[in-house]
Amino acid sequence: MQMTMRWFGTGYDSVSLAQIRQVAGVTGVITTLYGTKPGELWKTEDICGMKEEVEKAGLTVAGIESVNIHDSIKVGSPDRDEYINNYIKTLERLGQSDIHLVCYLAKMRSDGATVLAYDQKIIDQINPDDMLSSMEAMSNGFVLPGWEPERMARIKELFAMYKEVNEEQLFKNLKYFLACIMPTCDKYGIKMAIHPDDPAWPVFGLPRIIRNKENLLRLVSLVDSPYNGVTLCTGSLGSNPENDIPDIIHALKGRIHFAHVRNLRYNAPGNFEEAAHISSDGSLDMFTIMKALYDSGFDGPIRPDHGRAIWGEVAMPGYGLYDRALGANYLNGLWESIHKMSRL
């Protein structure tokens, strides 16, 4: 297991590589070329420059989150092959740069601490056209991942694109995409790790397919390759209390390539808020989750997921330094204890 933290890149992140390097036990970052758009071909010089910057700071690039999938691929538009070809070429360049993990998404996306929270009753009252201004007001001046202005400016167009797309079509289009890219993944040893939908149910009437054990197992069976895998996100899957996360971990043994580990607190059906990583602050048993990962033989990168805004820090919501550093040390401590217990 490698403990990592997400880093959005110089000019986009309030947290520096030097600060991440000082977090005990953290040896790598999960990063991306944050200025690129979905469907855009990544330049080799940009990949190498990003990797060189990280390595000069004494860290490794443990994976990419994300090489975003263009919406034409997701809905199966006639021009999808153009964007798939760009995706394949980007994967080739990542593999040639010795980067072998890509997390990707198939979705359309009281103690004085500030946390990220979700309430379906409030969401149901939101006009999608107003989402950009709402998110900008809460962003602390940062561009939030998945809420880029150029994407949100097309919100009406995007809703129209997805209007007639159902779950079966999403699975069909995902299978087509995976079948196209998997030979490249096999060649360069690139592990594709799909991220679950967050929250784990349909929103704004749009279908969401990566949300439970049944659908995750279906995902890994779409294309039978060890490189077709999953990002185990405890917060996304945990948004639905019916998801038994340790059971999901064991069911996906060998196909979990990456893990986002965070806690959350259930308030009511469809209503939850993110919590500190420690089990006692939320509703998830973090020890049991980490033990399931350990017992299943997981050996990939883990990152503490969204942190609270504490100690007056102003940062991208969910991605400040302080609480994620606490989370990394807590998770490392659990892993060390579980490892030593297994040897008794």
Task: Tell me the per-residue pLDDT of 157-167, one tens digit each, with 9 for 90 and over.
Answer: 666 767 778 88
Residue 122 has pLDDT above 80, yes or no: no
Are 255 and 305 contacting, i.e. CB atoms less than 8 angstroms apart? no
Q: What is the DSSP letter of 280?
A: G
How far apart are alpha carbons 70 and 160 in whole angstroms?
Answer: 15
Model confidence at 112: pLDDT above 80: no
The mean pLDDT of 256-271, rounded to a whole number, is 91
Q: What is the pTM of this model?
A: 0.85
Q: Can you tell me the distance from the alpha carbon of 244 to that of 234, in angstroms, rounded to the nearest whole number?
A: 10
Mean pLDDT calculated for residue range 203-222: 88
pLDDT digit string, tens, across residues 276-329: 999 999 999 999 999 999 999 999 999 998 888 899 998 888 899 999 999 999
Answer whether the bond into residue 72 is a cis peptide, omega within 30°.
Answer: no
Residue 179 pLDDT exceeds 70? yes
pLDDT of residue 129: 57
pLDDT above 80 (res 131): no
* Mean pLDDT (the chain, rounded): 87
CB 66 within 8 A of CB 56: no
107-135 mean pLDDT: 51
The residue assigned the tokens 């399931």 is 292
Q: How far apart are CA 329 and CA 334, in angstroms?
A: 9
CA distances from 212 to 93, 101, 232, 233, 238 (A): 32, 22, 11, 11, 10
Q: How far is CA 216 from CA 122, 209, 237, 255, 270, in A?
A: 28, 8, 11, 10, 21
pLDDT bin (cut points 50, 70, 90) of residue 9 is very high
* Residue 132, domain extent: 2-342
| CATH code of residue 164 | 3.20.20.150
Q: For residues 239 and 274, what is the distance between their CA atoms, to the nearest angstrom?
A: 10
pLDDT at 234 over 70: yes
> What's the half-sphere exposure (Cβ side, CA atoms, 13 Å) at 28?
18
The SS3 assignment for 61 reads: strand
Q: Do the beta carbons of residue 89 and residue 41 sit within 8 Å?
A: yes
Nearest Cα residue to 232 out of 168, 294, 179, 181: 294
Number of independent structural domains in the chain: 1
Residue 109 has pLDDT above 50, yes or no: no
Alpha carbon of 14 to those of 38, 117, 224, 261, 272: distances in Å? 23, 21, 40, 21, 26
